[in-house]
Structure 1
Amino acid sequence: MSSTAPRINALPAPHRERLLALAEEVSFEPGERVFDEHRPADRFWVVRTGAVNLDSRVPGSRRPAVIEMLGHGELVGLSWLFPPYEWELGAEAMSLVRAYEFDAAVVRTLCEAEPPFGLALTQWVGQVLSHRLQATRERLLDMYAPHGSGVL
């Protein structure tokens, strides 16, 4: 990856504090599924400690393919913000994970009620999404671009 993913500290302090006031502290054991593809995206998390793999089911394979590993301060789950609020990937704890958990409906309601908060949160999620798309693009190019092709 070319750069560090935007962590929760990328949110301006007043908005970060507002969001964290809604948090519930949770934990996941190693190997525990955080969420699965095509299920309702009604929550999201920010990792405090540990590591979570984002993954995708591959037809004919017993194990999902790992897309990215997330750690301290990183956002786990993006689909909660975008209709139809259904997970596009899955996630699994790779170690003991302690995280802040957020009720997606409550946060979306707050975003509507407090536009400056909503804008800041949406911009942060957009930065995370952009970073993940760029990281995926780089991995795909590493895997599939012909060496010496000049393709970046």
Structure 2
Amino acid sequence: MNSTSSIRFTTALPADVRTRLMEMAAEVNFEEGAHLFREGGRADRFWIVRSGTVTLDVHVPGRRAAVIERLGAGELVGCSWLFSPYTWRLGAEAMTPVRAHEFDAVRVRELMEADTAFGAALGHWVGQVLAHRLQAARVRLLDLYAPYGSGSYL
């Protein structure tokens, strides 16, 4: 359930893109147990973890939410901000005290439209993160609910 370093902010984005993005960052803190967002809520911001651990979860009717992945330093929390209708598809909770960089989604999307190189680089990074999370969700849900587990031998 841990992410791979290849899609961390510091290694996945060119230095100039990281610099421009960080110019829009606000530093925020979350206490252990705080929800950064809940599935179905309005996706109007996103975060890059500075320190601490955030879990992503998916609502499972009649059961506790299933934890899909644990995120740490340098990792993106929230992808739904990039895609209309800008609604969270997962939930996120601080499992430890978390320090993060917070970004206003509208402002970032505006810059992505104005600067196509920036937009392409950021969009590619978010796409990589989404592909990884889709696979992590598949494996985790199979582990939890399939009769023979994930079948990770495939």
TM-score (norm 2): 0.88
Matched, 1:64 2:65: yes
TM-score (norm 1): 0.89
- Where does residue 49 of structure 1 map in the other structure? 51
Instruction: State how many pairs are aligned.
Output: 150
Preserved contact between residue 54 and residue 68 of structure 1 (Cα < 8 Å):
yes
Shift of 1:3: 6.7
Percentage of matched positions with identical amino acids:
61
Q: 2:28 aligns with which of 22, 26, 29?
A: 26
Shift of 1:133: 1.5
Matched, 1:15 2:21: no
Shift in alpha-carbon separation, 1:150–1:80, aligned structure 2, 3 A? closer
Preserved contact between residue 145 and residue 151 of structure 1 (Cα < 8 Å):
no
What is the rounded CA distance, in whole Å, between the counterparts of 2:98 and 2:152 in structure 1? 40
Preserved contact between residue 53 and residue 96 of structure 2 (Cα < 8 Å):
yes
What is the rounded CA distance, in whole Å, between the counterparts of 1:20 and 1:90 in structure 2? 24
Shift of 1:38: 0.8
Q: Deviations over 1:108-152 (max 9, x none)?
A: 0000000000000000000111111222333345553748x8961
Q: CA RMSD in A?
A: 2.1
What is the rounded CA distance, in whole Å, between the counterparts of 1:139 and 1:150 in structure 2? 10
Unaligned stretches of 5+ residues in structure 1: none
Shift in alpha-carbon separation, 1:36–1:73, aligned structure 2, 3 A? same
Shift of 1:65: 1.7
What is the rounded CA distance, in whole Å, between the counterparts of 2:34 and 2:2 in structure 1? 29
Shift of 1:17: 0.6
Unaligned stretches of 5+ residues in structure 2: none
What is the rounded CA distance, in whole Å, between the counterparts of 1:95 and 1:3 in structure 2? 17
Q: What is the one-letter code of the residue matched to 1:115? A: T
